Structure 1
């Protein structure tokens, strides 16, 4: 290799290494609803609070006393501050995602109808709330302080009321020490229309990513009407901005939310929140100075070492493009699943063309393909995670599903491993995923009741098999409608075993150091304490699917004054009106006795305490009508940890204090 090229590549590599190893780590905070009013993690200055399982940034309508909602402002802030910079020498990166609902209220008390003013995600210097911050000031500033550099404030606003300085009443903006945004983006002008305050309650997921090295901020957003598989972040941001936060915010600052109402009102709810901040240790500045003092001689030595490392790495990459270890593992699998040629799969999917994309999850993308020589339709899953991790995911999924044999499990046809590319080949399901038929919109006929009942019974049968009839007990860990595929006769085929794990004999759960992956609304409450998946947590996910299919609503739907579907169904059960939960699109064309049975079964499986949930054998009998539904109390029981008298029987008693839960929606 030419020496000048070596020096150039080495210098570039060093810059990448230094930019990606800034700081000793990250600080993670995960807040998953429903939120408890007794939660001590938040400070709530102003008129908001914690109620109905959500952070209410401005007052909730509670008892329908709308008069108390006008001209209010509030903040909900995490109680601990974070070090975001040290006088600009270093600037911390951070990522946050949150799940919000801005709900319009119809008012008949003489005030008229409307919505406003909006809410914001904010970085603040303290835990206070400026007086007079209602109306146009969004709980951020007031008529006296707006625009003052002493505010030390940066926010992303979600504005729902047009002021003279706003582009419209449906936009996001970057606010620096003022409610007059430095940059605005109208959500009404985008190709995919996002309405912050639609008719009817809708939820939105927002991602905000800040790169402290490049001083750039990106905002991503997706609405309930067009969710992405497994809660994946959209590819394109709705806003990109250059921002050096060190110029504006205090060295130690607080993260949280602010909102306000004026002469028009709305509710501002946060249903879940994840925050990850780069950890700038207090003494790292001294370390940086010491590094600089090492001088040019050390830098040159590092460059030479990097050049040698690059040569070695390139050779190793070339040598291991087709890792003999992973190939040997694949070829030794029981039953010897078929090895497909990569070029054949490439042709079958038209070079993995976007038009053939069936779906995307946390582990990869699935494409439709046709093997023309065999006239065979296939589904090809191409793993997309980093090379080392994806091999682990690939082998975990393959070694489990390769040995599973059941009529209600998606059939694995084979695999492919070429030039570091990992692919699994499945039987193609012509009717796609269950959620595409449940949440199909008005333009498509909804799924008939007999098919819904048939599908739930099929999933129950598949779950019983992997929990009890397979030689190893397997936990699926991601039961949801989008992972249930439908064949040509609308028979359920449980798929996506990318998170599934086999439980060793004598154990009751599978633990993972980084926590319990899953999807909001399907995760059992005990998993947030133990960091472990169990057969009981799978049953909780099954209960969410049952309610989803019968009600035609997603588990996290805000409905009837409740933040989650299960709470609404439980309230109808308490009032003796449980059949009112059945999907209205069925227009009454369902069997009442079957519907009631499934709704009660869904509630029984959704019991907050693991020991009270039915086993899969009982679920099968209940679904068939040969066994009555167990008693379901009129009020949803409180979650108790540890579950009295059931810890040793159902779930391991050890638990992880420092738990990160991977969430998608």
Structure 2
């Protein structure tokens, strides 16, 4: 018995891992199954990481990009010029956004000839860049889960699933959801709902048919696919190829998670047991403690003794953060920031956070205390109340503009004699400081200059042609061209400064400037 035990002893760690990973290999077949990723050998780059609970996080709650690869390349055809064989995959995922109802940019499963995806951009979901998007030399196949509508990719909306061949311009795309097996009706899903979902993707090597399915986690694989398209992947994929996931997030803090993953050649992917998957992280405040609910009545007596002091402190604090609010602003509530949050974000509008001084006030850098989103706050003085409702309506309308080459206007705040406009913070400042450097030497090469010019053109084209209402910028100059962390050009102001100037000059007579922003 001792001899038998000694012979089996090296195999014991493998037996222990069987509940976590099941895999088979042969000349014609290959498969694996991961319920979580603790102890799994993956190649990770960017901000991708595996949590102690076994959750694969491709991005976390900061602005970043991440990839996760199966570590070894797969032989999809068996020979350099052979036919790509049938394969099938499934994975469980979730997209968690710090801000309800908004996220960026998305995630994808992909097949690529290399693990070196370092020269990729965030808006291209970490797969490609503007120089190679659409090139046949990419040899890439992907299933995208897109949460941002990009005009340059002809995206249908900001909540869709797509099949990509060598390009972020999808071969086929459809809004996120699934078909009910019983009634045949279509049920909508939201990618950024924070709820886990499951994707299945199959490729038939004989019929060259690609099918993609999606359903809430715990549901069986639907009979009818969400996407179905014929395409011969033998003309696309190289031998061998790598498989994996990619995700990126722009200015909106988002966590892209993978909970489980299975893959198979020449057969169905092993079924994922949802009961064995890791739990999703919790975003936002923790639920109120039961202990607190019990002890709170006991603490009431103590509270009464100090209530006078508390009231005095509260009134002093309220006076410090007092805002100007009127009944008509209820309609614009979601676009209004509290002065308290902006005060703390900019550390009390300290000089060290001053970004610049414009014609209508100062601009400060800040970080929102709850979401940690970096912002720029413009403080503008005003005295008259006439026409302010119309002007705020213009601000909110412009705030709905979303394009990768525009500085997002997030909202506003009002105090007596003061208006604060809140924008996304652009970490590389304005183009002005690069064109007119102190030493007189250019700090941008011609390739960077051309990239910035294209960005400005894309932004103006969107304002003039693509948005639902035509917006005339009227003040394009280097100081109004801002650069984000990837040196992408983003247009700022959209003429708001000039519109505000007219309102101040005319006592905020809304009728005189109602058309100042639109044609």
- TM-score scaled to structure 1, two decimals? 0.36
* Structure in which a larger fraction of residues adopt helix: 1
- TM-score scaled to structure 2, two decimals? 0.45
